[in-house]
Structure 1
Amino acid sequence: MEDVALAVRVKPLRKGEIKHSAKGAFSDYGDSMEDLESLVERYAKKWKLWEKNAQILVACSGGPDSIALLSILDAVSRKGESCIKVAAAHFNHEIRGRESDADEEYVMTFCREHDIPCYTGRGNVPAYAKEHRISIETAAREMRYAFLYATAGNIGASCIAVAHQADDQAETVLMRVLRGTGIDGLAAIRPKNGRLIRPILFASRRAIEDYCEQKGIVPCQDLTNNEETATRNRLRLSLIPQLKKEYNPSLGEALCRLASIAAEQTDYIAEQARAAWNRVVCGSGDDKIVISREEFLALHNTMQMAVLREAVDRLGGQMNFSYVQYEAIQELFLPEHKGKALHLPGGLFASSSYEKITLSKGEEQPTLWIERPLEPSGITRIDELGLSIVCEPAKPNEEVKGRMEILVDAGGFLNPRVRPRKNGDRFAVGSGSQTVKKLLIDRKIPKEKRTEIPIIESEGTILWIAGIRQADTARPINGKAALRLKLIYDKLPEWLMD
């Protein structure tokens, strides 16, 4: 299939003249107003942006990009072979007062004149931003996309078309380079992402402005786009023009080409990672993925990172992750990090045991170790915690020294076991009982550390929340034999340092 130029300048060409695209393909141009429309059709086929008979909801602010997109898709829908239906959606952010209302009226009028179904919504973005303590830009995006997805669901639209174009792509790539990114970040904006499609991502801003002019469309203008307060505006208005003038006049095309190459390589790496997935993953579910240490370490570093990104993505945490977090998870696979864990963004946890690493999500950190018998006369070792529990007969009238040891009734020390905390655990306090959870909250033990605390029990009854509190019924009886239990850590854990 013939490639579409990454950045197109729409203008009449003399008969027989051809234009060279940014990727090396050639495109013939006929009538200038129809060029962008036919290129969008070809671009949509190349990237499979929509299926036959698709209902497409076009996000339209009234600005040049979105009104051109709406006009183009409306024109495409009126061609007999296209078999698509188009509707428009406009969200009033209530940021610019009368100007915002004027934009809404403009879109509604355009749709009436072109017989396009139009759906509108509005929301107080400044109030939402203040309530959720986020920026105006983030609040506007969240509210707008919530409206778009809800509207698409209500009308049965399979696609939501948004008007990102080639200059947006170039700005995004440059911004990510400046902030720091990997190859997947360089891929930047994709033509299709789930239900979101970007039919004019290949076209330059100038091409779109020319299209509007030749069609007689006078778009709305958001004057805030000319203010150099936002980072993207400063890039567009100052940095990119300077780089074009002093270093590369074709900077936009070069950045778009970089994004295209990065996207192809990222897709290939992801494909290879999916092939490796079945070898390295030894268990998975909605809230947990278990990865074999041996199989993972046999992968190339690039594949390791790709597998981790796939795992985090499946658990719903990728939006909050940086390369630093992926590196931290990767280090857990090294032998010297057995028994360690990470509390990660988005409510995710990573924990390392002897043969595997577990990634999970939930309110509390996953258990790093499993229940085991407690040696009633000797030493029980828990390597995952770097802990030895010594159990030995106590001398008559012996007293404990600090919270790292207790005395228990030897006669009642039957079938002793040591285990992590369980939901609903209770221990004896006076004539009643208390939940272990409340005790840990009262002692201000961090949530992510609570599964590290050993629970010692006898015949299913909790004797000691080790290092924190002994059950009242577990104390030795005067004149009867007692046992001394003592904790010996390789390195004292943080929760025991207070």
Structure 2
Amino acid sequence: MPTIDAAVWEKVDSFLSEHHIDRHERIGVAFSGGSDSLALLLALAQLYEPHRLHVMYVQHHLRPDSELEAETALNRENCRKLGVVLHVLDLGKGSVVQASASRKGGIEEAARHLRYEALYTECSRAGISCLATAHNADDRLETLLMRLFQGASIAALEGVRVLRTIDECNLTLIRPVLGCTHEELSNFVKQHDMVWSEDSSNSEDAYLRNTIRHTITPAILSVFGGAYEAVALMTKRFGETGHLLDSLVENCLKAVTFSADRIVFSRSWFNSLSPALRDLVLFRIVSYHDEANRIKNSFIQRLRLALEMHRGDDGWILESGIRRLQVNRDVCSYYVMRGSDWQFCLALANPGEPQTLELGNNVLFSIRLYEEHPADPTLLALDESMLQGAVLRSVQPCDEIALEGGTVKVTKLLSSYKIPKHLHSSVPVLADRSGIVAVFARLHGGRDRLAKRFKAPLARRLTNIYSSTIRNHCSEIE
């Protein structure tokens, strides 16, 4: 039976051989100074010439300066003992907190994002094409548990991959000690009479991974002795299934039209897909224009439920922050609103049917029966039978409306009501084949105006009241 020293060394040696990692090329090593990364560095130092190891330590500035100074000094000393140079990558004070606020993913997520960004940049600068990290069997177990109870996709349940290609950096990310437990790695370091640094935040349960590590993992291991091996097998199967689903999704997306400003697909086509593929298809659609931001599963579920459950031919809109899905009968358009470029256009298949439509940006449009509501001179009443091919849309620069006092440009009308230009696109207009029927400016302090040809006595009968309002609470931000 091999000693711990031999077992860890042999696992790393076998990993490099199995994955054809060239030991004559320089390799990057992500080094935190903890027991896991020190064990990885120790093993690699036995397998590589020292000048081929490019060791990188990322400084996040999330702990007291005194602790960080001591840690950096110890890391330099350990690297000196192994004959390698330590490269310190300083993120700068406050950078993680700032990134957390902008990315809305928490301190852990922001630190991880900036850490890998710094590592990738340094590898690119140094001409390194392979980066080793010290993820181990405990990390794989913890990641699976987190993702499982966060409702992650099948592909995400693969968790920590043995090997991953970062195309944009021409870099391969490898995990040589993924088959070793944290305990094995710690004992490996002890056998070499070396001291690792302890991150004080590792003992704080404020971070989710630490809570799992200190409370859940020990309970699992006490009941299931073969948990590490089972998790390795499960994540491998999840990965294989995820790759299969990805290939099926890629084939499905041939029916989707991707363009620079929006993505268009058929609602009936979407609902004909296997339920197992719908979330994945929606995620690919949503992330196409929004790769920089985290896509929450709750938003994907809202989209899916709306597409599956909504009935009727009239158009509708679902939005969350700057993301919007607009549906006109069977045609679905998904896009991300940029600045003041907010636009909408909904066909009214049944302009006489009482309904409330969500236009986005908290703007609601209501159609009510004239006979069921008391007369209000500020609201517009008209004969819906006079409408031919009615649509409800945002204002366009060339729009004109024929009022009793003459024809006027809609944008000029809105300016006369002192409605700011950046709000013009959120003012609904009702149009049909004859032109602009009505302008609904009351929601921004103006007046709702009706084209003269739709006013009594030209209108045969008044059937409906049309109005627009702003919802008095913010739309959900994912």
Under a length normalisation based on structure 1, what TM-score does the superposition of the two structures give?
Answer: 0.69
The counterpart of 2:123, out of the listed 134, 143, 152, is 152
Contact preservation (8 Å) 2:11, 2:179: no
- What's the CA shift for 1:210? 3.6
How far apart are the structure 2 equivalents of 1:369 and 1:384?
Answer: 12
1:450-488 superposed Cα distances (whole Å, 9 cap, x missing partner): 37x22559999997346554599x997xxxx98799894
Pairing 1:89–2:56 present: yes
- What's the CA shift for 1:102? 2.1
Please name the residue that 1:327 is paired with: 301
Amino acid at match of 2:270: F
Contact preservation (8 Å) 1:312, 1:318: no
Pairing 1:162–2:133 present: yes
Pairing 1:218–2:195 present: yes
Contact preservation (8 Å) 1:90, 1:119: yes
Alignment of 1:178-257 (within 5 A): 178-191=149-162, 192=164, 194=166, 195=171, 196-245=173-222, 247-257=223-233
Q: Secondary structure at the match of 2:28?
A: strand
- What's the CA shift for 1:261? 1.8
- What's the CA shift for 1:77? 4.1
The counterpart of 1:427, out of the listed 381, 395, 411, is 411
How far apart are the structure 2 equivalents of 1:439 and 1:165?
Answer: 54
The counterpart of 1:304, out of the listed 262, 278, 286, is 278
Question: How has the CA–CA distance of structure 1 residues 181 and 419 changed in structure 2, closer, same or farther, with 3 Å as cutoff?
Answer: closer
Contact preservation (8 Å) 1:427, 1:435: no
Q: Secondary structure at the match of 1:121?
A: strand
Q: Secondary structure at the match of 1:357?
A: strand
Q: Secondary structure at the match of 1:454?
A: strand
The counterpart of 1:355, out of the listed 316, 319, 330, is 330
Question: How has the CA–CA distance of structure 1 residues 358 and 352 changed in structure 2, closer, same or farther, with 3 Å as cutoff?
Answer: same
Contact preservation (8 Å) 1:457, 1:464: no
Question: How has the CA–CA distance of structure 1 residues 420 and 197 changed in structure 2, closer, same or farther, with 3 Å as cutoff?
Answer: farther
How far apart are the structure 2 equivalents of 1:142 and 1:88?
Answer: 19
- What's the CA shift for 1:167? 0.4
Contact preservation (8 Å) 1:226, 1:233: yes
The counterpart of 1:122, out of the listed 90, 100, 104, is 90
Alignment of 1:394-473 (within 5 A): 401-405=377-381, 420-422=393-395, 427-429=411-413, 437-439=421-423, 450=426, 453-454=428-429, 464-465=439-440, 468=443, 469-470=446-447
Amino acid at match of 1:344: S
- What's the CA shift for 1:209? 2.4
Count of matched residue positions in the alignment of Structure 1 and Structure 2: 427
Alignment of 1:35-50 (within 5 A): 35-42=10-17, 44-45=19-20
How far apart are the structure 2 equivalents of 1:353 and 1:331?
Answer: 17
**Higher deviation after alignment, 350-359 or 110-119:** 110-119
Contact preservation (8 Å) 2:356, 2:367: no
How far apart are the structure 2 equivalents of 1:355 and 1:309?
Answer: 20
- What's the CA shift for 1:403? 2.8
Question: How has the CA–CA distance of structure 1 residues 462 and 91 changed in structure 2, closer, same or farther, with 3 Å as cutoff?
Answer: farther
> What is the Cα-based RMSD across aligned positions, in Å?
4.7
Alignment of 1:3-42 (within 5 A): 11-12=2-3, 31-32=6-7, 34-42=9-17
Q: Secondary structure at the match of 2:412?
A: strand
**Higher deviation after alignment, 430-439 or 194-203:** 430-439
Amino acid at match of 2:279: M
Contact preservation (8 Å) 1:69, 1:200: yes
Please name the residue that 1:70 is paired with: 41
The counterpart of 1:108, out of the listed 76, 87, 102, is 76
Q: Secondary structure at the match of 2:346?
A: coil
Please name the residue that 2:249 is paired with: 273
How far apart are the structure 2 equivalents of 1:430 and 1:229?
Answer: 52
Question: How has the CA–CA distance of structure 1 residues 255 and 404 changed in structure 2, closer, same or farther, with 3 Å as cutoff?
Answer: farther
Amino acid at match of 2:276: T
Q: Secondary structure at the match of 1:427?
A: helix
Please name the residue that 1:61 is paired with: 32
How far apart are the structure 2 equivalents of 1:141 and 1:100?
Answer: 18
Question: How has the CA–CA distance of structure 1 residues 244 and 71 changed in structure 2, closer, same or farther, with 3 Å as cutoff?
Answer: closer
How far apart are the structure 2 equivalents of 1:64 and 1:164?
Answer: 11
How far apart are the structure 2 equivalents of 1:316 and 1:431?
Answer: 34
Question: How has the CA–CA distance of structure 1 residues 251 and 368 changed in structure 2, closer, same or farther, with 3 Å as cutoff?
Answer: farther
How far apart are the structure 2 equivalents of 1:311 and 1:178?
Answer: 24
Q: Secondary structure at the match of 2:161?
A: coil
Contact preservation (8 Å) 1:40, 1:199: yes
- What's the CA shift for 1:182? 4.2
Please name the residue that 1:140 is paired with: 111
Question: How has the CA–CA distance of structure 1 residues 485 and 358 changed in structure 2, closer, same or farther, with 3 Å as cutoff?
Answer: farther
Amino acid at match of 2:58: F
Contact preservation (8 Å) 1:370, 1:419: yes
Amino acid at match of 1:104: T
Please name the residue that 2:405 is paired with: none
Q: Which runs of 5+ in 1 are unaligned?
A: 1-9, 14-29, 373-378, 391-398, 407-414, 441-446
How far apart are the structure 1 equivalents of 2:206 and 2:156?
Answer: 24
Pairing 1:176–2:160 present: no
Question: How has the CA–CA distance of structure 1 residues 234 and 416 changed in structure 2, closer, same or farther, with 3 Å as cutoff?
Answer: closer
1:420-446 superposed Cα distances (whole Å, 9 cap, x missing partner): 225767622599686664456xxxxxx
**Higher deviation after alignment, 197-206 or 167-176:** 197-206
The counterpart of 2:344, out of the listed 361, 367, 386, is 367
Question: How has the CA–CA distance of structure 1 residues 166 and 118 changed in structure 2, closer, same or farther, with 3 Å as cutoff?
Answer: same
Q: Which runs of 5+ in 2 are unaligned?
A: 359-364, 369-374, 383-387, 399-409, 474-478
Contact preservation (8 Å) 1:170, 1:253: no
Under a length normalisation based on structure 2, what TM-score does the superposition of the two structures give?
Answer: 0.71
Identity %: 20
How far apart are the structure 1 equivalents of 2:52 and 2:354?
Answer: 64
How far apart are the structure 1 equivalents of 2:99 and 2:28?
Answer: 29
Contact preservation (8 Å) 2:429, 2:437: no
**Higher deviation after alignment, 128-137 or 160-169:** 128-137
How far apart are the structure 2 equivalents of 1:362 and 1:303?
Answer: 26
- What's the CA shift for 1:272? 1.4
**Higher deviation after alignment, 91-100 or 187-196:** 187-196
How far apart are the structure 2 equivalents of 1:202 and 1:494?
Answer: 60
- What's the CA shift for 1:62? 0.8
